Every structure is written in structure tokens, then in C-alpha cells.
Amino acid sequence: MDHALVLLATGLLIGFIGTLIGAGGGFLLVPLLLFTHRELTPEIVTAVSLAVVACNALSGSIAYARSGRVDFKAGILFALFTIPGSVLGVFLTEYIPTHIFSFVFGIILLLLAIFLFVRTKNQKTVTDTFSNQPHLTERTLTDKHNVTYHYAYNKYVGILISIMVGFISPLLGIGGGIIHVPAMVNWLSFPVHIATATSHFILAIMASISVIVHAVRGNYNDSHILHLVVWLCIGVIAGAQGGAYFSHRVKNTFIVKALAVCLGIVGIRLLMSIA
């Protein structure tokens, strides 16, 4: 898998799928690296994955921002509360044995897959006016295709979710989108297309912080690791643009179910690898 063209193609696919469903792509890259590079420690695997996720999220966020589907108010607030956990998570990865890392990651993916598949619902693009509830933040966004999204969310619940995501993401190297997107849709009532775009914006900030911490710790100093990161990142940058472009053409229920299926397959494969 270390050939430049293979890495480029892998990054392209991960960038496309990850951006399409707002998950960053780490949930695909981490198990792939665990299968193909068994010599890498969990700390290095997460370092590589988060670098790729950061590039994917930055590229996808630019495209989503142009489309008008990023809720910057919610995104900046939630991103700020992911930072403390993301720094702590980086420091804890070196203490996790590989088999425990793989087991926990596989179980999390399976549980999320089941939850998403069972709870999938087709949201309306424009919702009714919300009653006067002081604990809810009401938002209305209109994207460049003149589609209006009207919704409201509890920012305090969002902050708690973001703290949890910030801690788990660097610990498992997944970026956090596979947790943030379903949480924003099912618990915060975000429209799916706004959730995927805003999640990508949050990922761009959170993953970049984790990458800086990994860099300071010297986890990208090895030339082989740097080779993996550079070629995968080139691929995901291009793939992210494609995923963002096609996202508005895909129904929200398909995005969520596609995410659930991907999570289930990867989770099962990962658990089988340690059986």
C-alpha cells in the first residue's frame, strides 16, 4: 500500500466518502492502516489518520462554506469545546495496547451503525416555527441552491457532545464525524446536510489541533510516515471537493444509511482481525 499511486487513490476514495457523509474518513483509514501496517503503534496510526482527516476536513469545509450549508455559529462554539479533550486524547494513545484499541474501535463502530440504521428518518428541509423555548438556539440558513433550512438546537447538549467527541476522536484517530453527525441529527435536530457540512468545519479545527500536538511529539518525523501522510493527503483534498459537490444531490436518508453500512462493515472486519 506504500506506492504513491495506491496511496493517492486511497486518499481520493476516503476523501470522497468521508466528505459526502461528513465523517472525515478516519473510520475507514484507521482499520485500513491496522490491516496493512501492523508494525505501526496505535499512536502513529492515529497520527497519520488525523493528519489525513485534517486535510480532508479543511478541503471539504471550503467547499461546504461556498455552498452555504455550514452553521458557523454552532460550528465555532462546538469546535472550541472539542479542543481540551483532543489534546488529552493525543497523550493517552501511547498507553493503549493494539488489540484493545482494535476491539474498542470495532465495538463503537458497530453500535453506531445499529443506532443510525434504526433511527434513520427523512427530515423536512423547512421545519415549522419553533415554540418560544429559551434553551434552544433557533437558526435559519439558505444555501446557494436556495434551499432553506430552519431548525433549533440545545447548545448545552451540543457542548457536552463536543467535549466527548474531542476526547474520543484523537484517541481512536477517527476525527469525530461519525459521532458528531448522528448526534447533531438525532439529538440536536440539525438537518442532515447542515450537520454533515458543520461537522466537517468542526473537524477541520479539532483535527488540526490534534495534528499540531502529534507534530510537537515528533510522530511525523519518520520519512516513511511522512510519505504515507503526504500522498494520502493529496488524494483526500481532491476527493473532498468531489464529495462536497455531490452531497446536495443525495437524499439525507441515503447519507445516514450509507454511513451506518460503512460503519458496520468496518466494525465487523476489525473485530474479526483480532479474533
Q: In this predicted model, what pLDDT tens digit does every residue of 139-157 receive, in sequence order?
A: 999 998 899 999 999 999 9
Q: Is 176 left (phi over 0), alpha (psi -120 to 50) or beta?
A: left
> Residue 128: what pLDDT?
46
- DSSP bridge partners of 142: 148
> Residue 125: what pLDDT?
45
> Residue 79: what pLDDT?
93
Residue 215: pLDDT above 90? yes
Residue 35: pLDDT above 90? no
Please give the Cα distance from 58 to 61 (Å, whole number).
5
Query: Which DSSP helix (H) or strand (E) runs through 4?
Result: helix 4-20
Q: Is 251 left (phi over 0), alpha (psi -120 to 50) or beta?
A: beta
Structural domains of the chain, count: 1
Q: What is the pTM for the complete model shown?
A: 0.78
Q: How confident is the model at residue 98 (pLDDT cuts 50, 70, 90)?
A: low
Query: Which DSSP helix (H) or strand (E) runs through 275?
Result: none
Determine what percent of the chain is predicted with pLDDT higher than 70. 91
> Residue 126: what pLDDT?
45
Domain that holds residue 138: 4-273
Residue 169: pLDDT above 80? no
Lowest mean pLDDT among 2-6, 14-18, 71-75, 266-270: 266-270
What residue has cell string 466518502? 17
Higher-pLDDT residue of 178 and 156 is 156
> Residue 132: what pLDDT?
53
Contact 156, 148 (CB under 8 A): no
> Residue 107: what pLDDT?
87
Q: What is the mean pLDDT of residues 61-75?
A: 93
